[in-house]
Structure 1
Amino acid sequence: MAVATDPLGCMQKLVQMLQAPPYVAAAVLGGVLLLMFFIGDWRKRRRSPLPPVPAIPGIPVLGNLLQLKEKKPHKTFAQWSETYGPIYSIKAGASTVIVLNSSDLAKEAMVTRYSSISSRKLSKALTILTADKCMVAMSDYNDFHKLVKRYILANVLGANAQKRLRQRRDTMIDNISRELLLACVKDSSSESVNFRKIFESELFGLALKETFGRDMESLYVDGLGTTLLREDLFRTLVIDPMEGAIEVDWRDFFPYLRWIPNKGVEDRIRKMDFRRGVTMKSLVEEKKKRIAAGEDLNCYAEFLLSEAKSLTEEQISMLLWEIIIETSDTTLVVTEWAMYELAQNPKRQERLYQHIQSVCGSAKITEENLSQLPYLTAVFHETLRKYSPVSIVPLRYAHEDTQLGGYFIPAGSEVAVNIFACNMDKKQWESPEEWKPERFLDESYDPMDLYKTMAFGGGKRVCAGAPKAMLIACTTLGRLVQEFTWKLREGEEDKVDTFGLTARKLQPLHIVAKPRIN
């Protein structure tokens, strides 16, 4: 108690002790510091009348790391929530992580308590691959974030930008329909078609057009001294970074040991980052040459290069890359899984066809029809619910003491919002493991409300690309249902595993498609 009530007397005694032999002084000083640490921790706990968050039992030093061996912690977190409740804490080495597994808690963290939990906590891999948060999705909520979000909304993702870029989306969907038809004609009726290969290629082309003004079949990359073909560009800009983003560096869990080298993981990530960086540099340089030649291609790069004077070249490169990776991957995830589920459910596929026919007749479906097609949007939202493209929101940390769910959250805690668990919560969703679009036809749901599930996040950090994702996915699905029937390739039913940072299907979807109209 003397330490707590008489600091001056304690300091005098400490000075006297320090005149003793060094080893005695060191022991005493260490003991005092340890005591002060516990007293400080005790005082902080006493300041809050709220209880601490329930903790998952772990082991010393490692905490719960050995219970999280696979790269799909969202499923483990969801299982734990059945035993420990929707909010609990885990120890990941030196870090305390508060895991949220219900929509109410997720909304509280992302909306109500946002001012206290707004900063991103990135792994070593993501820090490298995002150039230390130089992206809209990964940046902290600061002046940089507000500036670049205005840029991306004005030029790519906002309502006016969507209208301006409409023709490119229409052309992409025409190409997908034509490619699938050609594949059906080329192969016999029993042969399967790799749907992902068609859709992925067209999405990548759309991303390049929106970003740099045109698609391309190859690019000479000066930093690599070679020409990358289109498939190599896709791997360098999309596939490799997505795989690298989930690389685990054990030093992330023990920050005080960062000085110890971990060359294997870090070298792999830096190699990916280098290839991505020099490829983006070549794309930007090629765009600069076309601008100098007087070409007007109405693209995001043209705006950033001419108007974003306060940004560095690296920041511009990262913002351009963000459009490419997000257009090329997350929209693919929800559309591919919707195709898979419709193939498994021929009655629902036929119901969707009749639904579209009742509105569009013989005319091709357009984006303007979506508000009249509640069953189509229900298919989209149900797929988002079951196969949320991002299973866990990138970690945030509390930069001040706060509360969640009636529990005390001390400053420094990391917060993980488990979107997968929110969307599979049996208290909110009836038979959540079942894919049932009809659940969203209830009158309590607005057909055009994009935030029925937590898939797009919420609050000030809600996904800016949500409207674009819905337009592309719903119009593509509607058009393909109008023009084809399809079923799964034999053996495809069991291929439901996922891979990567998003819920990307581990195996590409293969379908046996048949044109409805000859």
Structure 2
Amino acid sequence: MISVILISLILFFLSAQFLILQWKSRGFPPGPTPFPIIGNIWWIKFRADHGSLKRLAKTYGNICTLWLGQRPMVALYGFQAVKSGLTTNSEDVSGRLQTYVFNRVANGKGILLSNGLIWKQQRHFGIGTLRKLGMGNKGMERGIQMEARHLVEFFRDKDGEATDPSFPIVHSVSNVICAAVFGHRFSLEDETFRQMIEEYNSIVAFGNSHLYYICEIFPWAAEHLSGSLQKVASSWDSVRSFVRQEIKSHREKGRTGEPEDFIDFYLDQIEKAKNTPNSTFDEDNMVQSVFDLFLGGSETTATTLRWALLYMLAYPDIQEKVQKELDAVLSPSHLICFEDRKKLPYTNAVIHEILRFSSIALITIPREAVRDTTILGYQIPKGTLITPNLYSALFDPEYWETPHQFNPGHFLDKDGNFVTREAFLAFSAGHRVCMGEVLAKMELFIIFCNLLQTFKFTVPEGVKEVNTDFIFGSTMKPHPYKLCAVLR
């Protein structure tokens, strides 16, 4: 008798939940029928060509709704939907969801995962400080040129032997942001630096795993799952501890004259704002902002450069055309600078095609509607998650002639001049557009050109095929590979 009553209560609860979800779904964009408790969790795979968002778009259109448990998420697919969703009412969808995992690792601090006043103050300060430190001009360009030389010397020392380029690329790219944030670079042999990179890799690998989604949708069960979440939390704590040590070192050595790096500027800002009401400048926000800058300024650019060299192995004819243009325009003794891109249209087009074709961020970190708004004619209530699929914009067949081919011609006109494309949303759009876009483009151009001017990159002996499939994660990485850098 008790079991019958219990079953009846469970069925009543599930039926009530089902009806409530159907009621809530009214007015939202179309989507699969949500089920009690779990919503549409089985759709959450987010894999590119064969992924759930593409299947959703085919069935329900380029704007549709998924339910993460009891919470609605509006998915945007294709260039027009992504652009309109992120830019038409940009400020309305500039929020960042505060979830179980995000709160565990950032607690609403810093730039990447913060909201409201914290986000506005930290982002504004971050952009302004990076500009003072030379982002977008000759100041930071000199640091990039130095790191490019170090990377060239690394490959030169290998004397054409088969080499995994992953860590030396990460090392060079990371040192650009390290110099700006910490005021110094790290050697290739520095064990502390290697450990920090490993911690970052652990965090990034977790970011789009199935376990991540389980933790977000069922936070009450997260603490009882395997140790993966605890491992990521430990990695996050380790990086924060490293940053706090750098801050302590800055405080102890004191400063004379003008600030020299981001931490110097931030310490000054804490002092200036200590009597300002509503100031968000404190050590916790500084630590998280440094973490965000390092992640944004190293992980994505380094991954893109790994793809760049892999594509040069896969498309040796394109590599040869880049080198011919470099040889024709620049002398071997010329110090390559960002301004040179205007004289190298084909090379510039290749770099943009690398960014498009690698599409390392399939989807952005979901936005959140901070107020009731309208997206593509639908009334979207405050608190709704917005997930734009950047991959779908970068591969939209209505805007790219050969979307699934690596084709630098996408960025060239009939006369061979470089052209921008409106569907090129590799750095996202709207209020949350990547704040390091200029820096990333400078690094990609200067390092890529230095490498291709100096070396011919070939596959190691015995390698029959270049694997250009990606490893799914927070960023889409290539599979580990080796190459031979042969002096030209």
**TM-score scaled by length of structure 2:** 0.84
For the 8 Å contact 2:31–2:56, the answer to whether it is kept is: no
Corresponding position: 1:179 with 2:149? no
- Residue 132 of structure 1 deviates from its aligned partner by 2.3
Tell me which residue corresponds to 2:471.
498
- How far, CA to CA, are the matches of 2:391 and 2:333 in structure 1? 37
For the 8 Å contact 1:100–1:415, the answer to whether it is kept is: yes
- How far, CA to CA, are the matches of 1:450 and 1:144 in structure 2? 33
Task: Give the direction of change, closer, same or farther, for the CA distance of 1:397–1:445 in structure 2 (3 Å limit).
Answer: farther
Give the match's secondary structure for 2:484.
strand
For the 8 Å contact 2:359–2:391, the answer to whether it is kept is: yes
Tell me which residue corresponds to 2:113.
138
- Residue 60 of structure 1 deviates from its aligned partner by 4.2
2:122 to 122, 130, 148: 148
Give the match's secondary structure for 2:428.
coil
Tell me which residue corresponds to 2:285.
315
Mean alpha-carbon deviation: is it higher for 428-437 or for 490-499? 490-499
For the 8 Å contact 1:391–1:503, the answer to whether it is kept is: yes
- Residue 289 of structure 1 deviates from its aligned partner by 2.2
Tell me which residue corresponds to 2:330.
360
> What one-letter code is carried by the residue in structure 1 that aligns with 2:75?
V
Corresponding position: 1:428 with 2:399? yes
Task: Provide, for residues 55-86 of structure 1, a one-character-per-residue CA deviation record: whole Å limited to 9, x for no partner.
Answer: 12454432322243587799321243233321
For the 8 Å contact 1:392–1:416, the answer to whether it is kept is: yes
Show the 5 A alignment for 1:187-336: 189=160, 191-216=161-186, 229-236=192-199, 238-246=200-208, 247-248=211-212, 250-254=214-218, 257=220, 264-291=227-254, 294=256, 298-309=260-271, 310=273, 311-336=281-306
Give the match's secondary structure for 1:510.
coil
Show the 5 A alignment for 1:505-516: 505-507=478-480, 509-516=481-488
Task: Give the direction of change, closer, same or farther, for the CA distance of 1:307–1:399 in structure 2 (3 Å limit).
Answer: closer
Cα RMSD of the aligned pairs, angstroms, is 3.4
- How far, CA to CA, are the matches of 2:188 and 2:282 in structure 1? 26
Task: Give the direction of change, closer, same or farther, for the CA distance of 1:103–1:70 in structure 2 (3 Å limit).
Answer: closer
2:81 to 96, 99, 105: 105
For the 8 Å contact 1:382–1:440, the answer to whether it is kept is: yes
Task: Give the direction of change, closer, same or farther, for the CA distance of 1:263–1:197 in structure 2 (3 Å limit).
Answer: closer
- Residue 418 of structure 1 deviates from its aligned partner by 0.7
> What one-letter code is carried by the residue in structure 2 that aligns with 1:324?
F
For the 8 Å contact 1:107–1:458, the answer to whether it is kept is: yes
- How far, CA to CA, are the matches of 2:46 and 2:423 in structure 1? 29
Q: Which has the larger radius of gyration?
A: 1
Task: Give the direction of change, closer, same or farther, for the CA distance of 1:158–1:488 in structure 2 (3 Å limit).
Answer: farther
Mean alpha-carbon deviation: is it higher for 324-333 or for 490-499? 490-499
- Residue 431 of structure 1 deviates from its aligned partner by 2.6
Tell me which residue corresponds to 1:167.
142
Tell me which residue corresponds to 1:77.
53
- How far, CA to CA, are the matches of 2:376 and 2:91 in structure 1? 16
For the 8 Å contact 1:74–1:392, the answer to whether it is kept is: no
> What one-letter code is carried by the residue in structure 1 that aligns with 2:270?
A
- How far, CA to CA, are the matches of 1:423 and 1:39 in structure 2? 33
Task: Give the direction of change, closer, same or farther, for the CA distance of 1:259–1:299 in structure 2 (3 Å limit).
Answer: closer
- How far, CA to CA, are the matches of 2:104 and 2:417 in structure 1? 40
2:442 to 471, 496, 502: 471
Tell me which residue corresponds to 1:96.
72
Mean alpha-carbon deviation: is it higher for 414-423 or for 147-156? 147-156
Task: Give the direction of change, closer, same or farther, for the CA distance of 1:296–1:397 in structure 2 (3 Å limit).
Answer: closer
Task: Give the direction of change, closer, same or farther, for the CA distance of 1:108–1:55 in structure 2 (3 Å limit).
Answer: same
- Residue 115 of structure 1 deviates from its aligned partner by 3.3
For the 8 Å contact 2:240–2:291, the answer to whether it is kept is: no
> What one-letter code is carried by the residue in structure 1 that aligns with 2:204?
M
> What one-letter code is carried by the residue in structure 2 that aligns with 1:306?
D
Give the match's secondary structure for 2:202.
helix
- Residue 488 of structure 1 deviates from its aligned partner by 2.7
1:456 to 427, 444, 449: 427
- Residue 432 of structure 1 deviates from its aligned partner by 1.4
- How far, CA to CA, are the matches of 1:446 and 1:466 in structure 2? 22
> What one-letter code is carried by the residue in structure 2 that aligns with 1:349?
Q
- How far, CA to CA, are the matches of 1:81 and 1:134 in structure 2? 34
For the 8 Å contact 1:393–1:418, the answer to whether it is kept is: yes
Give the match's secondary structure for 1:162.
coil
Unmatched tracts of structure 1, length 5 or more = 1-26, 46-50, 220-226
2:457 to 475, 483, 486: 486
Tell me which residue corresponds to 2:277.
none
Task: Provide, for residues 369-425 of structure 1, a one-character-per-residue CA deviation record: whole Å limited to 9, x for no partner.
Answer: 112222122112212212223221111222443332233334432110011122122
For the 8 Å contact 1:377–1:474, the answer to whether it is kept is: yes
Task: Give the direction of change, closer, same or farther, for the CA distance of 1:417–1:177 in structure 2 (3 Å limit).
Answer: same
Unmatched tracts of structure 2, length 5 or more = 1-8, 274-280
- Residue 106 of structure 1 deviates from its aligned partner by 1.4
Corresponding position: 1:374 with 2:345? yes
Task: Give the direction of change, closer, same or farther, for the CA distance of 1:369–1:259 in structure 2 (3 Å limit).
Answer: closer
- How far, CA to CA, are the matches of 1:376 and 1:408 in structure 2? 44
> What one-letter code is carried by the residue in structure 2 that aligns with 1:434?
Q
- How far, CA to CA, are the matches of 1:261 and 1:233 in structure 2? 27
- How far, CA to CA, are the matches of 2:465 and 2:222 in structure 1? 47
- How far, CA to CA, are the matches of 1:286 and 1:232 in structure 2? 19
Give the match's secondary structure for 1:135.
coil
Tell me which residue corresponds to 2:94.
118
Task: Give the direction of change, closer, same or farther, for the CA distance of 1:249–1:201 in structure 2 (3 Å limit).
Answer: same
- How far, CA to CA, are the matches of 2:21 and 2:31 in structure 1? 21
> What one-letter code is carried by the residue in structure 2 that aligns with 1:502?
T
1:339 to 309, 319, 325: 309
- How far, CA to CA, are the matches of 1:160 and 1:119 in structure 2? 29
Task: Give the direction of change, closer, same or farther, for the CA distance of 1:160–1:275 in structure 2 (3 Å limit).
Answer: closer
For the 8 Å contact 2:205–2:474, the answer to whether it is kept is: yes
- How far, CA to CA, are the matches of 1:399 and 1:179 in structure 2? 48
Q: Give the % identical residues.
A: 19
> What one-letter code is carried by the residue in structure 2 that aligns with 1:302?
D
Task: Give the direction of change, closer, same or farther, for the CA distance of 1:450–1:312 in structure 2 (3 Å limit).
Answer: farther
> What one-letter code is carried by the residue in structure 1 that aligns with 2:458?
K
Task: Provide, for residues 110-136 of structure 1, a one-character-per-residue CA deviation record: whole Å limited to 9, x for no partner.
Answer: 11122332211144223322x223232
Task: Provide, for residues 278-337 of structure 1, a one-character-per-residue CA deviation record: whole Å limited to 9, x for no partner.
Answer: 222112112222335x59772111111122334111111111222222222111122111
